[in-house]
Amino acid sequence: MNNIDIDAVDLNLFKVFEALFEEGGASRAAIRLNLTQSAVSAALGRLREVFSDTLFVRTGRGLAPTSRAKELKPLVSEALGKCRQTVAIAWPEATSFHGRSVSVGLSDDFEIAVGRQLIERMAQSTPGLRLIFRQTHSQIVGDALANREMDLALFAGAPSGRGLNHRVVGEGDYACLLDEKRRAASTLTLDEYVSRGHILVSSGGVVGIVDEGLSALGRRRNVIASTTHFASLPHLLKGSRAVATIPRHAALAISRLTGLTLVECPVKLPIYPIVLAWRTSSMRDSAVVKVQSAIQESFPLVI
């Protein structure tokens, strides 16, 4: 199709595009949009004609976007976002958010610490809204927000990027987890701490902030294993003498859920800011605003 006029394009196709991109399959997109799978497949055919590209290719795990689809996604999301903002002007006090989703970027320590509270708060204030948790960290969050891969981001550190706003919602520090329910002391001596095997949670898997703190004291620890995710710690620590030093908010949540013991870290480690960031334009969306408020309200419960 050449020289396409927007009057000849069904703008509902863009909702189908967004659903296909985010759900990764026609059947899941159909469920999300409350359409039949054949209707979604037909819409995809029209989208391919409009953009002269296959847009999505079938893989063993569903549909994967082409490079053209990846190029289009932030533009389509921005256009749909403006449409939703326009509708929100007519209904500024919406009471139902069925069919809407808000994506929150965060690492799994924050997901463990505040995910459940956030879900419960949103179920009360925004019925029908779906939360999408996406893994992120401070080094990539600016680009991810700018590219509309997420609506909000919660992380440790400071963001960068134009058109972004941020707010410090708390301060974090560190605590230790181990499997000793009858432990009398609430802390470890430095000698006992370094004598134990350590589980390191790190994206690099080699050196962590604890190693830097110990190095300043002329000491070293024995890292027996490393993992990139906090969620695996209960399985790695249970029944062992190992210790893991992690952000306190995650240590508290894991301890409450699993019965692992939280003790104070004998090494002085730096306090860090916990930051909530968002695109300036996204604050015109009442759904995003409500999730932002819920995140800010959740943090006094865990810090």
Tokens of 176: 């230790």
Query: pLDDT tens-digit profile of 197-227?
Result: 999 998 776 788 899 999 999 999 999 999 9
Mean pLDDT of 118-126: 91
What's the pLDDT at 237? 96
What's the pLDDT at 33? 85
71 has a pLDDT exceeding 60: yes
Percent of the chain with pLDDT over 70: 88
Averaged pLDDT score across all residues of the chain: 86
Q: Tokens 């026609």 belong to which residue?
A: 26
Cα 100 from chain centroid?
A: 17
Going by pLDDT thresholds of 50, 70 and 90, the confidence category of residue 34 is confident
CATH of domain 6-83: 1.10.10.10
Highest mean pLDDT among 87-96, 119-128, 179-188: 119-128
What's the pLDDT at 4? 57
CA angle 81, 86, 89 (to 5 degrees): 130
What's the pLDDT at 301? 43
What's the pLDDT at 221? 95
Q: Tokens 């799978």 belong to which residue?
A: 37
5 has a pLDDT exceeding 90: no
93 has a pLDDT exceeding 60: no
Pick the CATH number of 96-170+273-301 from 3.40.190.10, 3.30.565.10, 3.10.270.10, 3.40.50.620: 3.40.190.10
What's the pLDDT at 303? 42
Query: pLDDT tens-digit profile of 237-280?
Result: 999 999 999 999 999 999 999 999 999 999 999 999 999 999 88
> How, if at all, do strands 174-178 and 243-247 pair?
antiparallel
11 has a pLDDT exceeding 90: no
Mean pLDDT of 222-238: 93
168 has a pLDDT exceeding 80: yes
183 has a pLDDT exceeding 70: no
53 has a pLDDT exceeding 60: yes
What's the pLDDT at 281? 78
What's the pLDDT at 161? 57
Mean pLDDT of 105-118: 93
Indicate the domain borders of the chain.
Answer: 6-83, 96-170+273-301, 174-270
90 has a pLDDT exceeding 60: no
Domain 96-170+273-301 and domain 174-270, same fold? Reply is yes
Determine contact, residues 150/120, Cβ cutoff 8 Å: no
What's the pLDDT at 302? 41
What's the pLDDT at 125? 87
Q: Which of 7-11, 123-127, 290-294 has the lowest mean pLDDT?
A: 7-11
CATH architecture of 174-270: 3-Layer(aba) Sandwich (3.40)
140 has a pLDDT exceeding 80: yes
104 has a pLDDT exceeding 60: yes
